[in-house]
Amino acid sequence: MKKELTPAGILRSLGKCWWICTIVAIIFATGAFFYSRFNYREAYTSRAQIMVRFSSEDEISSATSAVQGANYAQKVLNTYVSILKSSNDFKNYLKQTYLLKYNTTEFPRYAVSFTNDSETQLVNVHMTAYKPEYAFQLCETFVECAPKYIEERTGKEDELRITDNATLPVTPSNQDNSARNTIIAALLGFLVPFAVAVVIDLFDVRILAAEDLRTTYKYPVLGEIPDFTRYSGSRSSRGRYGYSRGYGYAYRYGYNYGYGSYQKPQNPTEKKTGGK
């Protein structure tokens, strides 16, 4: 019969395994802290804004074609953004332009993302690098290369226009999450072994105390047999003749001697002979 999950049972499980949970929580928290600190690196993000402009024949000329024109404009916008984000040819073009513009052989690692409002033709470009000057230079190069690249591929002039130049970041765009990760790891390290202990106790059907009969099986307890090992002592604690030095314990011959008594028992087979 499976035990029921009760607050008393949960507290009993916690009392048995709290020290294991604490040790695991400390190990998890320490590992998370050093891992977060070791892998954290400041990143900076530069932002610019471009606008997708359509040629005159593609522009909306009447209210009746407004819906079709809006759908077309959004599809073109998504197409350009997808090209600039995933085209390997554009990435190589961006790299070559950057190396030539800044006369360097080092091309920094970067990440680019785009955000745009579905109701406008504006696109926000976010360039992220590990140094603020790298982020600014990459973003500046990007908004310079993007219009030329789209014009070469589509054959249409002025499809992309810069509406907001690149900005120089002054603060990191990412945060050091060491404290947060440490707290989360400590909670997980404490709760996981505690949950395991609760489940083990929940499926443990052994009867360890009279309270288990009352709570699990709903049986009345008529009487209990005490644990005699708590009162009989151990052989190693007895004296040479079988007497204990402990306080209040009855041992080999059923006598209870006080603390520190060493009285020698009388041998039942020995006869009294005139004081000998």
Strand partners, 161: 51
Is the confidence at residue 254, as pLDDT, over 50?
A: no
Nearest Cα residue to 128 out of 164, 167, 101: 167
**pLDDT tens, position by position, 182-205:** 999 999 999 999 999 888 888 877
With residue 161 as reference, give the H or E element that holds it. strand 160-164
Considering the chain, what percentage of its residues have pLDDT values greater than 90? 27
Query: How many helices (DSSP H) and strands (DSSP E) are in the chain?
Result: 7, 4
Residue 20 CB contacts under 8 Å (≥ 6 apart), including other chains? 193, 197
How much is the pLDDT for 175? 84
Which of 232, 231, 226, 230 has its CA nearest to residue 210? 226
d(CA 218, CA 240) in angstroms, rounded, equals: 49
Burial class (CB in 10 A: 0-12, 13-18, 19+), 59: exposed
At 128 the pLDDT is 93
10, 198 Cβ separation under 8 angstroms: yes
Res. 269: pLDDT tops 60? no
**Which tokens in the block code for residue 66?**
């407004």
Can you state the angle between helices 66-86 and 88-101, rounded to 10 degrees?
Answer: 60
**Average pLDDT over every residue of 233-246:** 48
Secondary structure element (H or E) that encloses residue 237, with its range: none
Q: Kindly give the interhelix angle for 7-39 and 178-202, rounded to the nearest 10 degrees.
A: 150
CA 261 – CA 253 distance, rounded (Å): 15
Identify the weakest region by mean pLDDT among 98-107, 146-155, 232-241.
232-241
pLDDT higher than 70, residue 28: yes
Mean pLDDT value across the chain: 76
pLDDT: which is higher, 206 or 93:
93
For the chain, the domains span 7-38+176-217, 41-164, 228-268
The model's pLDDT over 82-140, given as tens digits with 9 standing for 90+, comes to: 888 888 999 999 999 999 999 988 899 889 998 887 677 788 999 999 999 999 999 99
Please tell me the predicted confidence (pLDDT) of residue 228.
66
Q: What is the mean pLDDT of residues 65-72?
A: 62
If one looks up domain 41-164 in CATH, what number appears?
Answer: 3.30.70.1130
CA end-to-end span of the chain, whole Å? 67
% residues pLDDT > 70 (the chain): 68
The residue-averaged pLDDT of 214-223 equals 70
Q: Is the pLDDT of residue 177 over 60?
A: yes
Please report the pLDDT score of residue 136 as a whole number: 94
Mean pLDDT lowest among 53-57, 75-79, 85-89: 53-57
Question: Nearest Cα to 172, choosing from 42, 47, 37?
Answer: 42
Sheet holding 44-52, edge to edge: 111-116, 122-129, 44-52, 160-164
pLDDT in tens, 159-173: 788 888 999 998 888
pTM of the predicted protein model: 0.58
> Is residue 260 over pLDDT 50?
no
Closest by alpha carbon to 154, among 53, 268, 238, 4? 53
